[in-house]
Amino acid sequence: MWAISCLAAFLLSFHCLIVSGEDTESPSQLTQCTEVAISDCYRRYDNIFQRPDLQRNDEGQYNEEAYRKACSGFPETSSCYAGFTRCPEFMRSNFTRREAGYGAFRALVCDTEALKVAISAKNCTDPVKMRTCMMDHHGNL
């Protein structure tokens, strides 16, 4: 359980760095090879934290079926990567770590218990303060 909590904390930090809008669709393939487009594409996966079906209900219970299905929106390779491979090599090398981060994020989402911990932690965290703290200590990752 300690390892799950540590992974959840790390991925919550990742989440706070990529907090996005209210998109509910899985990201489509990358269409532009710019730093902003690549970042925005990966950022859209973060909507998992806003999904109402993954929040506890009024009785404090989880929707277990929603948690089991959450992983299906996260293919082994992100849809961003499929489009990002069309970018020039110098752009791809700058963003390889985003795909590695996606892989770690996917592992969390596909582990029901770890995802519950991460969503619970996210719900108890001020995202503005967390982002400021992460930027102060780690810079713009």
- Most confident region among 17-21, 54-58, 82-86 by mean pLDDT: 54-58
| Residue 132 structural domain | 2-138
pLDDT in tens, 15-39: 444 333 333 345 566 777 888 888 8
pLDDT in tens, 87-141: 888 887 767 788 899 999 999 999 999 999 988 888 777 778 878 887 888 776 5
The one-letter code for the residue type at 137 is H
Structural domains of the chain, count: 1
Task: Give the span between the Cα atoms of 49 and 46, in whole angstroms.
Answer: 6
Q: Average the pLDDT over 39-63 and give the result.
A: 88
Which has the closest alpha carbon to 43: 58, 59, 30, 62?
30
